[in-house]
């Protein structure tokens, strides 16, 4: 006689296991402890087998009957319900291990040894902020264009076009990593390569007009912030190194009494290089010849932050760390130069433009900017043109003094062209 909900509910344990049959092989097994389990007895390939459907009352009588009917349908097709159940669990476990987040994190671990800590942090945050919240828990094989497109649309609508392109490129790398490890077979992000609007390349805001440059230099001289920050602002146009190199400058890197002239030697590990290049035994340091004006500023600063301390420009909260990466830009804002007028990186563009107008050798300018050179030369040639660069850096400092003072500037390319070529 078929079971009813009342019979199932009122089934009492005894001193032995009881089986209450419903039909079609389904029965409720009542254990001595009182626990009640749904089971199904069936035969496949001549062998008697058992199949479990769960615990009563979490699995109701109706649900157990549905599971029995599904199992019997498989039997009619010649398939073993127990084997099918095991295969389904295995597929679910594999899918859980092969979510986009799991594959993405594995890709990050593979790439970590060849990345700098800063790059690893950026790549990780990009996935965590723009991919994982929406597709992180999906099996990577089930993600297609329809799942990826909204991620990119969201960034484009927010005005973050460059970030959208970077996210798409990063997603593509994760899909290719999955394919290489036989956990995926396609790259749906590739299909959206032409979907996004073209990148808009923008130069860093800078000032190249002599009169406006003079205003900037005079504003820096009148900066009312802390003395180390004021010194950093004064050195930025003189040295035109990358902002990260300037803010983390260390006293041990400066040699003010070198026989060939005072200089700042930026070691490879602090330069803008790939991790493998930074760690290459032949990777060169970057030499920054110091003009008299730069030397004077450094000597002014030394009593305050030198004397065995590490950084020229220590952080406001701790001398064990350099000043914040936003300090220079924030100081420029304080002086009245907004982000569309001038940035810390803009001093490099200002120097590059004006030095070319002054008639200096383009190669010497590029070396001083530490711009990447294609091929093997990009690793070994950065220390060339040093005598010429010393002349150039002093001429540049003198030129800035003239601008600041409002003096009539002699056409510089005539004055220095013969000296630099």
**Residues marked as catalytic:** 242, 274, 345, 348, 371, 380
List the Cα angle 162/352/204 in 5-degree steps. 25
CB atoms within 10 A of CB 9: 11
Return d(Cα 340, Cα 338) in angstroms, integer. 5
Name the CA radius of gyration of the chain, rounded. Answer: 35
Return d(Cα 172, Cα 324) in angstroms, integer. 33
Contacts of 140 (CB under 8 A, 6+ apart): 98, 99, 100, 103, 174, 175, 178, 183, 184
Q: Which residues of 267-281 are buried (b: 16+ CB within 10 A; e: fewer)?
A: ebebbebebebeeee
List the Cα angle 395/357/382 in 5-degree steps. 65
Question: Which residue is listed with tokens 């300018």?
Answer: 365
Structure tokens given for 215 = 């205003």
Q: Using the 8-state DSSP alphabet, how is residue 250 labeled?
A: B
Quote helix, strand, coil % in the chain, to nearest 5. 55, 10, 35
| Whether 38 contacts 57, CB under 8 Å | no
Q: Where is 47: in which H helix or E strand? A: strand 47-56
Return d(Cα 413, Cα 421) in angstroms, integer. 11
Angstrom distances, CA of residue 164 to CA of 152, 204, 275, 403: 5, 20, 25, 42
Return d(Cα 252, Cα 306) in angstroms, integer. 10
Structure tokens given for 217 = 């230099």
Return d(Cα 415, Cα 397) in angstroms, integer. 14
């Amino acid at each position: 006689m078929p079971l009813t909900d009342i019979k199932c509910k009122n089934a009492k344990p005894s001193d032995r296991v009881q089986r209450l049959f419903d039909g079609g092989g389904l029965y409720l097994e009542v254990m001595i402890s009182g626990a009640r389990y749904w089971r199904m007895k069936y035969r496949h390939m001549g062998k008697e087998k058992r199949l479990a459907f769960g615990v009563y009352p979490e699995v109701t009588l109706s649900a157990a009957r549905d599971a029995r009917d599904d199992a019997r349908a498989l039997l009619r097709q010649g398939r073993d319900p127990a084997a099918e159940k095991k295969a389904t669990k295995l597929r679910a476990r594999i899918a859980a291990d092969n979510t986009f987040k799991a594959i993405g994190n594995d890709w990050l671990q593979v790439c970590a040894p060849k990345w700098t800590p800063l790059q690893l942090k950026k790549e990780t945050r990009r996935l965590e902020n723009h991919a994982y919240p929406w597709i992180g828990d999906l099996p990577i094989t089930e993600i297609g264009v329809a799942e990826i497109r909204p991620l990119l649309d969201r960034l484009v609508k927010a005005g973050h076009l460059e970030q959208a392109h970077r996210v798409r490129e990063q997603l593509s790398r994760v899909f290719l990593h999955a394919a290489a490890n036989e956990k995926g077979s396609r790259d749906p992000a590739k299909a959206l390569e032409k979907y996004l609007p073209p990148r808009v390349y923008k130069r860093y805001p800078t000032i190249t007009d002599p009169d406006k440059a003079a205003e900037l230099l005079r504003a820096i001289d009148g900066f009312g912030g802390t003395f180390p920050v004021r010194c950093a602002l004064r050195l930025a146009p003189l040295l035109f190194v990358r902002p990260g190199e300037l803010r983390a400058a260390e006293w041990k890197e400066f040699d003010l009494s070198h026989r060939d002239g005072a200089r700042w030697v930026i070691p490879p590990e602090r330069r803008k290089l790939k991790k493998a290049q930074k760690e290459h035994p032949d990777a060169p340091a970057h030499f920054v010849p110091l003009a008299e004006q730069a030397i004077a500023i450094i000597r002014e600063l030394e009593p305050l932050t030198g004397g065995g301390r590490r950084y020229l420009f220590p952080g406001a909260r701790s001398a064990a760390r350099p000043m914040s990466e936003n300090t220079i830009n924030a100081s420029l804002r304080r002086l009245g130069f907004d982000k569309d007028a001038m940035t810390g990186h803009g001093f490099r563009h200002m120097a590059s433009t004006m030095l070319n107008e002054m008639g200096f050798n383009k190669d010497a300018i590029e070396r001083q900017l530490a711009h990447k050179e294609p091929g093997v030369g990009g690793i070994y040639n950065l220390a060339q043109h040093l005598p010429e660069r010393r002349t150039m850096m002093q001429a540049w400092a003198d030129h800035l003094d003239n601008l600041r003072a409002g003096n009539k500037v002699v056409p510089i390319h005539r004055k220095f062209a013969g000296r630099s070529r």
